[in-house]
Structure formats: structure tokens, C-alpha cells
Amino acid sequence: MKRHKSLIPLSQDHHHGLMLAQLIKKGTPEYKGLPTTISGKINYVKLAWENELKIHFENEEKILFPAIKGKNHDIDKLIEEILEEHNQIKTLVSNLSTCEIPDNTLNDLGVLLEQHIRKEERSFFEKVQILLDKDLKALEGKIAPAKNQCST
């Protein structure tokens, strides 16, 4: 399904998030120009958190969710799951510097981040587009991709 105009910026962020998830999971190939060491990946994750992920979460939590919450039970249930995953991701990112086995934490974060993004893209956004199209029209132009927001 083609992405609704108001959700496109979030989907663009998801593309970057999937690349990050792939980078930090165990057993993935090296990517040219991206960190290969555990400490390099931790620093990369922290920068991605500050410059993209945190902003993306805020866009969802402060703009998208309030605009659609309370209008459909299934969507509300997904919002609850997504918020719980946001908290888990925040916790994993904040624990990266102090965890005993950082490569395991990076892998856990990569797996969770990928699953989270796939849920939003394949389930949440699809339901929202089908059931709450009018509510999405009211959000057009209110959400910009995180990468654009941090470069201004």
C-alpha cells in the first residue's frame, strides 16, 4: 500500500533505522564508511539516537499518536505496544555504555529496532491509513523526517 502523505516522513526515518539495525546486529557484513568496532558502533548508535531516533519517537508520541488515539481499539492497542517498544529501545541505548557484554546489547537493540519498524510499517501504518484517513489528512505537513529536523 502506498504510504499516506503525512506518514512518508516517518517511513523515511524507518529506512535509516533499518540500516542502523542491520549495522549493529551480530553476523552482519561490514558496510563501507560505517563503524566496524563495538565502540565505534556504540558511538554511532548514540549519535543516531540523539540526531534521529529520539526526534522520530517524539514525532510519533507528540504529533501522530495524540491525533489518532481513542478512535479505534486495534490502533490504540498497537500504540500501547509501540510505546512499550520505544521504552525498551531507549533503555537499551542508555545501557550501551555500562553493559557488560555490549555486542549482545547492540544485537538485542538491532533485533528489537528492526521488529519495531516492521510492525509500524506493515501493521500500524496500514491500519491507520485504512481506518483513519481523515485524521491523517489533518497531519499533512506537520511531521518532517528526523534527518531534516536536525540539519536545520
Over range 144-150, report the average pLDDT.
71
Cα–Cα distance for residue pair 35/67, rounded to 1 Å = 38
Over range 51-70, report the average pLDDT.
96
For the entire predicted model, the pTM comes to 0.92
Over range 17-27, report the average pLDDT.
94
Q: Which pLDDT belongs to residue 140?
A: 87
What tens digit of pLDDT does each residue of 103-133 get?
999 999 999 999 999 999 999 999 999 999 8
Over range 42-52, report the average pLDDT.
96
Domain count, the chain: 1
Q: Which pLDDT belongs to residue 151?
A: 42
76: domain range?
5-150
Cα–Cα distance for residue pair 134/146, rounded to 1 Å = 24
User: Helix, strand or coil for residue 141?
Assistant: coil
Evaluate whether 45 touches 109 at the Cβ level (below 8 Å). Answer: yes
